[in-house]
Structure 1
Amino acid sequence: MSTKRWLGVLGCTVFGMLLFASWLIPGQMGFWYTIDANVFFFFNHLLGQSKAFLYLVAFTNLRPFDAVAFLFMLGIFYHYYRQQDAKGRRWMLCIGLTMLVTAVIAKQFDMFLGFERPSATKFFTLQGVPVLRVSELTGWPAKDWSSTSFPGDHGMMLLIFTFYMLRYFGRKAFAASLLVVVVFSLPRIMSGAHWLTDVVVGAGSICSIVLGWMLLTPASDRVIAFFDRYLPRKKQKN
């Protein structure tokens, strides 16, 4: 592996560690907290000012809506899948399985960190600060409360997909996938079920480290090759 690649891996690892440290070292109450609080109250005030915004946030935080993000990712993946021949389609299925392996590895980092950070709505409620909750205002079972919001699992999975698309399919695939990350990470932040830093710092730092080692080293290619070798193949018709 080239020196440039190793420097990229080191850079991603150091960046992820520094990003996480910038949030953790000030006791989670430094400049990131100011940004988090400002973002939360900006959207929380809007919930009381606009019925249209309130119900948009409520709808996009219903559990079934999570499947929409998956369908968009599947649509992007399928766009490239249908352009492949039989060998290329098998290769893409192996990439999909490798993404799942990467997600499992990233989840181990999450479990190792073991943070139990309450969501913005719960945090400020416990502090005695009155906040608006989407579920109470609409009567819908929208996600707007969490006891353990850090890091954002949803954002972590979306980032893994996005950077795999960049690595294997280029910038256009990356741009489309990044749009999905933004659109489908925002609802949880707007409802207060997640802080902005749950995605930017939590998911961002973990993905920076894990994806650096998976995508800038031969690791992902080797896992793909492993699946390609051992997955059952269709029998050729005589």
Structure 2
Amino acid sequence: MDNRPLFQAKWSWGPLAACTVLPIALLCFWLWPFGQILCLTFDEWLFHSLNAPLADNTTWRYIWTVGSLRPFDIVVGLILLTVLIRADWVFKASQVREAFFGFLVTLILLVVVRALFSKWVDAMGWQHDSPSMVFDNVVHLSDYYPNLEKAWELKDRSSKSFPGDHASVLLIWALFMSLFSRRLVQHLVIWGLALLFMLPRLVAGAHWGQDDYIGGLLMAVLAVGWSCHTPLAAKGSALLMRWTAPLFRIVAKLPLVGRLAIIR
């Protein structure tokens, strides 16, 4: 049986350098005037292509309204968690708990990166309104379903849409899973889910594309790099596994729940 740890407690300088340079390159491209023109041109086309059909296609509108509700984020989180802890798909059954804690450490690092980067964005004046607040003739889901906006926090606009924090979580999950995926079908499922769940904010106009493929991506790459290519994920997951071992031994005695790979 292969009991080697999933994460290596060492510095992988090549991948770490790549995960540091790429976010810097993305930010520089975004700040470059010509790069900004390209981003805005693409984002305007993308937004109108996704948003305009909401006016005439009721089914399209229903689908993306549900996807734009805050409670749907919980559903998305459960789906991503299920894929992460499914035994013998990406991770072996014996590695599932270590993978879960490694991802948790990476997610915590993302929160830190997000807080620091957002303060920098505000200080530099890089913040902007979402496309639903900029363009005319926009389909606002909240105009169709005002009760949902009040009761379930329908997300279709934002005065501070950069960077895309929702997208950064999806992207960090996809990047983390891709590090350990070995088959094409795994990569297709992982990135298919990530892109699908990023769409509701883009369709509703709560985010520009650049909020996700620039802001969200640079934060996700930075957090994954400084977690998985440094000793952080290895030491953090090992520590959490040691601290929670007594709790898992208790939960393992419960029927049904105790059969889950993450519990065993």
TM-score by length of 1: 0.83
AA at the equivalent of 1:209: L
**Do structure 1's residue 122 and structure 2's residue 127 form an aligned pair?**
no
Which 4+ stretches in 1 moved above 6 angstroms?
none
CA distance in 2, matches of 1:131, 1:164: 35
- C-alpha distance 170-215 of structure 1, shift in aligned 2 (>3 A): farther
User: Counterpart in 2 of 1:144?
Assistant: 156
**Do structure 1's residue 219 and structure 2's residue 232 form an aligned pair?**
yes
User: Counterpart in 2 of 1:176?
Assistant: 189
Give the conservation status (yes or no) of the 8 Å contact 1:72–1:180: no
Work out which of the residue numbers 67, 72, 92 in structure 2 matches 1:60. Answer: 67
Give the conservation status (yes or no) of the 8 Å contact 1:69–1:180: no
AA at the equivalent of 1:121: S
- C-alpha distance 6-93 of structure 1, shift in aligned 2 (>3 A): closer
Cα offset, 1:103, TM superposition: 2.6
User: Counterpart in 1 of 2:4?
Assistant: none
Q: Deviations over 1:132-176 (max 9, x none)?
A: 211113444231111111111111111222222233454555443
CA distance in 2, matches of 1:157, 1:179: 15
User: Counterpart in 2 of 1:135?
Assistant: 142
User: Counterpart in 2 of 1:15?
Assistant: 22
Q: Deviations over 1:13-61 (max 9, x none)?
A: 2121111121123298421011111111112221223222122221211
Cα offset, 1:96, TM superposition: 4.1
AA at the equivalent of 1:148: K
User: Counterpart in 1 of 2:3?
Assistant: none
Cα offset, 1:95, TM superposition: 2.2
CA distance in 2, matches of 1:117, 1:43: 20
SS in 1 for 2:33: coil
After TM superposition, the structure 1 = structure 2 runs for residues 67-82 of structure 1, keeping only pairs within 5 Å, are 67-80=74-87
TM-score by length of 2: 0.75
Cα offset, 1:184, TM superposition: 0.5
Cα offset, 1:221, TM superposition: 1.4
Work out which of the residue numbers 154, 162, 167 in structure 1 matches 2:166. Answer: 154
Give the conservation status (yes or no) of the 8 Å contact 2:47–2:131: yes
Cα offset, 1:190, TM superposition: 0.5
**Do structure 1's residue 228 and structure 2's residue 244 form an aligned pair?**
no
- C-alpha distance 39-209 of structure 1, shift in aligned 2 (>3 A): same
Give the conservation status (yes or no) of the 8 Å contact 1:32–1:197: yes
AA at the equivalent of 2:58: K
- The share of aligned pairs that are identical, in percent, is 27
CA distance in 2, matches of 1:113, 1:123: 23
Worse-matched range after superposition: 91-100 or 149-158: 91-100
Cα offset, 1:64, TM superposition: 1.5
Give the conservation status (yes or no) of the 8 Å contact 2:106–2:228: no
AA at the equivalent of 1:11: A
What RMSD, in angstroms, separates the aligned Cα atoms of the two structures? 2.7
Q: Which runs of 5+ in 1 are unaligned?
A: none
Give the conservation status (yes or no) of the 8 Å contact 2:85–2:96: no
CA distance in 1, matches of 2:54, 2:25: 34
Q: How many residues in Structure 1 have an aligned counterpart in Structure 2? A: 228
